[in-house]
C-alpha cells in the first residue's frame, strides 16, 4: 500500500477510514470465509468478530500493508478456536448462500476443496477466490512465500487427484 492510500485508510478520528475499509472488504472476506469454513452462517459470525476487532484497533490495523489479510486471518483463527471448543470437524458439505445469485457451483470442486486441511484450504481460497498474489497471501498469514507455494502445490495436487484430473 502506498503512503497516500495508507493515510486515507486511517484518516479521520471518526472512523471514516474503517468505514471505507468495511464497505470494500466485508462481503468479499465473508464469502472467502464461507468457502474456507463451509458454512455461510459461521462465516457471518467470523467476519463480524474479525471486523469488530479491527474497528476497535483501527489505528494500528489500518496502517498494515494488508488489513484485509489481517481480518481474514483473525476470522479464520476465531473459527478454528470455536471448532476446537466444539470438538467438531470443519463442515465439508456444499452450501448455498440465498443472498447471492451466481452460476451453479461445481459441487465436486466444492466438496474436494472442503476436504482439504484447513491450512491448505485457506491458502487456496485466498489465492484463487480472493485473487491475492503469493506475496499478499504470505503477508496475510504471516508465513514465508515459499510456505504459501508449497501448501498451494500440495493442495492443487490433492485436488487434481480427488477430481480425477492429470497434473
The pLDDT tens digits of the residues spanning 104-124 come to 667 788 888 888 998 999 999
For residue 93, pLDDT over 80 is answered with: no
Torsion of CA 37, 39, 41, 44, to 10 degrees: 30
Mean pLDDT confidence for 51-66: 94
For residue 91, pLDDT over 80 is answered with: no
Contact 19, 8 (CB under 8 A): no
Q: Report which of 1, 69, 82 is spatially closest to residue 32, judged by C-alpha positions.
A: 69
Of the listed ranges 6-10, 12-16, 58-62, 116-120, the least confidently predicted one is 6-10
For residue 69, pLDDT over 90 is answered with: yes
Mean pLDDT confidence for 138-159: 93
Identify the CATH assignment for 3-162 out of 1.20.140.160, 3.40.190.10, 1.10.10.10, 3.40.1160.10. Answer: 1.20.140.160
User: In whole angstroms, what is the distance from residue 103 CA to residue 39 CA?
Assistant: 18
User: In whole angstroms, what is the distance from residue 58 CA to residue 36 CA?
Assistant: 25
Which pLDDT belongs to residue 49?
Answer: 95
Contact 39, 94 (CB under 8 A): no
User: In whole angstroms, what is the distance from residue 152 CA to residue 95 CA?
Assistant: 23
For residue 32, pLDDT over 60 is answered with: yes
Which pLDDT belongs to residue 109?
Answer: 82
User: In whole angstroms, what is the distance from residue 140 CA to residue 75 CA?
Assistant: 12
How is the chain split into domains, by residue range? 3-162
For residue 95, pLDDT over 60 is answered with: no
Mean pLDDT confidence for 112-138: 90
Task: For residue 32, give the C-alpha cell.
Answer: 472467502
Task: For residue 24, give the C-alpha cell.
Answer: 470494500
pTM (predicted TM-score): 0.61
Amino acid at each position: 500500500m502506498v503512503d497516500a492510500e495508507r493515510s486515507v485508510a486511517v484518516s479521520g478520528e471518526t472512523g471514516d477510514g474503517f468505514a471505507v475499509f468495511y464497505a470494500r472488504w466485508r462481503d468479499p472476506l465473508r464469502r472467502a470465509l464461507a468457502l474456507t469454513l463451509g458454512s455461510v452462517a459461521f462465516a457471518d459470525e467470523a467476519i463480524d468478530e474479525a471486523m469488530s476487532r479491527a474497528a476497535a484497533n483501527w489505528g494500528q490495523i489500518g496502517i498494515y500493508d494488508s488489513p484485509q489479510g489481517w481480518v481474514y486471518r483473525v476470522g479464520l483463527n476465531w473459527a478454528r478456536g470455536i471448532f476446537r471448543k466444539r470438538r467438531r470437524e470443519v463442515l465439508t458439505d456444499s452450501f448455498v448462500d440465498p443472498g447471492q445469485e451466481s452460476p451453479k457451483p461445481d459441487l465436486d470442486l466444492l466438496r474436494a476443496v472442503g476436504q482439504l486441511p484447513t491450512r491448505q484450504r485457506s491458502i487456496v481460497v485466498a489465492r484463487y477466490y480472493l485473487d491475492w498474489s503469493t506475496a499478499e497471501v504470505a503477508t496475510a498469514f504471516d508465513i514465508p512465500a515459499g510456505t504459501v507455494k508449497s501448501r498451494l502445490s500440495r493442495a492443487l495436487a490433492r485436488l487434481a487427484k480427488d477430481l480425477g484430473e492429470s497434473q
